[in-house]
Amino acid sequence: MYQLEVLIRNFTYLLLGAVVTLKITAISVLMGLAIGTFVGMGRLSKRKIISIPSSIYVEFLRGTPLLVQIFLIYFGLPSLGLNLEAFPAAVIALGINSGAYVAEIVRAGIQSVPKGQYEAARSLGMSHTMAMRYVILPQAFRNILPALGNEFIALLKDSSLVSVIGITELMKSGQIVISRTFASFSIYGGVALIYFAMTFTLARIVRYTEKRLAIR
């Protein structure tokens, strides 16, 4: 009973932490989507000055732990004269990391669109940029929506790592409550349930959007 009472008393506090988690995730998702779109297109560029840096970016970010990247940005950049508060450092780290994975998803999505679509757009007088913007990318994003949804769900869960730099998001909120009450099982259980509720809701939204796009 004590464990349950502690969870009920502190549930609102955990929800406030969940709000911070959602803010961090939302901003990071937008950043990752923007970066990933351009880097994914860059990897397909015939110009090595674009494709090589894009490939290096993807391989490095995917080949190093997210926790190390968070430490590099929050603790490493100050040694170079660039000091960031914990929140922007967390958002940048998550956004840059997500961008690398989104880039590969976007690249695969673009390659999944038949080449004839691009050739048809060009034959109608569209420039390369217009063909990508109005013909290729809309079809590619429809194809990759499930993969993007999975990436964003993974990003929401990975956001728990930013607790190590002192941001009071959901995971950190749970740790603070446990340090006062020692009710580890109930609090971590509550944290897990809140994460599940957020990821389940996000998965339903992605699934609904996927069905809506499939109708058109």
Global pTM?
Answer: 0.91
- Dihedral in degrees, nearest 10, Cα atoms 66, 26, 90, 53: 60
| Mean pLDDT, rounded, for 194-212 | 92
pLDDT digits (tens, 9 = 90+) for 90-146: 999 999 999 999 999 999 999 988 888 888 888 888 887 888 888 888 888 888 998
pLDDT at 216 over 70: no
Residue 42 confidence (pLDDT) above 70: yes
Model confidence at 87: pLDDT above 60: yes
pLDDT of residue 36: 95
* Other residues' Cβ atoms within 10 Å of the Cβ of residue 116: 9
Q: What is the CATH number of the domain that holds 10?
A: 1.10.3720.10
Total domain count, the chain: 1
Give the span between the Cα atoms of 211 and 63, in whole angstroms.
34
8-state DSSP, 79: G
Q: Which domain holds residue 205?
A: 2-215
